[in-house]
Amino acid sequence: MLDFAARFVRIHVMKTFTTLLLALMASITTQAADAPAARTEIAVIGGGCFWCVEAQYLLVKGVRIIVSGYAGGKTENPTYEQVCEGDTGHAEVIQIEFDPAVTSYKEIIDLFWDAHDPTTVTKEDMYKHGKFMPKGTAYQGNDYGTQYRSAIFYTSEEQKKIAEASKAEVQKKWKDPIATEIAPLKKFYPAEDYHQNFQARNPEQGYVRAVVTPKTEKFKHTLEDKGKIKPGAK
């Protein structure tokens, strides 16, 4: 009789515990579903070939998602081939979704000046790729054309003020005038799928090995010095 009573008590206790556990799990699930997602912001910048800038900013702490694409031109839904012709007016850019509680928009822009040379459009005339390049032609390294111009496309007046103030401050460190375009973002067009996360997907590609990886490694050291490198970044 006592054994039966003990088993009855154990079963009752187990049922009660299970009921409470299920109720607790349901409450946690509901709270998680109702909790607002972490607030993110968007920054759109261009500093030469988007393969380089994408690889660099993927290392930045607080950066969630990067999409390579085109902005600043007149052609709707441009293709990579059209942009490379230099007639669309678009620049190769990256759209950065980031957590401002970790890295602010100001920090995103301040790092921008370390990611590339923002004065290159002001350099003297020179011959490249077997043809004459007029003075004032935008370029980064061996990449020539307006599609490689230095640019910041802002999405609000606050972003505009931050970008302009950052540009004015960093100009003190450069001998040549900074030529970075600061303009409102009218439309961002994502690039073709094969351009996304290009360095990671094509580590042995010639341009990646010769240009993207060295620039990214240099930028990595900058991030380490400033304490803005993403944990676990390689």
pLDDT of residue 27: 52
pLDDT of 2 reads 46
Report angle CA 41, 44, 46 to the nearest 5 degrees: 155
Beta bridge partner(s), residue 133: 126
* Residue 234 placed within a domain: no
What pLDDT score was predicted for residue 14?
55
Tell me: do 173 and 138 sit in the same domain. Answer: yes
Alpha-carbon gap, residue 200 to 223, rounded angstroms: 19
- Section 21-35 average pLDDT: 49
Q: Are residues 124 and 201 in the same domain?
A: yes
- How much helix, strand and coil, in percent to the nearest 5, is found in the chain? 45, 20, 35
What the block records as the tokens of 71 is: 């902005």
So which residues are the catalytic ones? 49
Is 101 inside a domain boundary? yes
CATH of the domain at 72: 3.30.1060.10
Residues pairing with 144 in the sheet: 139
Q: Are residues 83 and 25 in the same domain?
A: no
> Are residues 145 and 89 part of one domain?
yes
Which residues, in sequence order, are CB contacts of 142 under 8 Å at separation 6+?
A: 128, 129, 211
What pLDDT, on a 0 to 100 scale, did the predictor assign at position 134? 64
Whether residues 7 and 90 fall in one domain: no
Q: Where are the alpha helices (DSSP H) in 58-150?
A: 80-85, 105-115
β-strand pairing of 181-184 with 63-71 = unpaired
158-164: long-range pairs with CB below 8 Å, 24+: 158/105, 159/43, 159/105, 160/184, 162/105, 162/106, 162/109, 163/109
Looking at the structure, do residues 3 and 77 belong to the same domain, yes or no?
no
Does 88 map to a domain? yes
pLDDT of residue 8: 45
Same domain, 118 and 66: yes
Instruction: Assess whether 122 and 88 both reside in one domain.
Output: yes
| Domain-embedded: residue 231 | no
Do residue 4 and residue 71 come from a single domain? Answer: no
pLDDT in tens, 129-186: 455 566 667 777 777 788 999 999 999 999 999 999 999 999 999 988 899 999 999 9
Instruction: Judge if 142 and 54 occupy the same domain.
Output: yes
The answer on 26 and 62 residing in a single domain is no
Query: What's the pLDDT at 123?
Result: 53
Q: Is the pLDDT of residue 53 over 50?
A: yes
Residue 5 one-letter amino acid: A
Q: Name the residue with higher pLDDT: 138 or 88.
A: 88
Residues 158 and 216 in one domain: yes
Domain range enclosing 217: 41-226
d(CA 158, CA 196): 29
What is the tally of structural domains in the chain? Answer: 2
233 in a structural domain: no
Average pLDDT over residues 44-56: 97
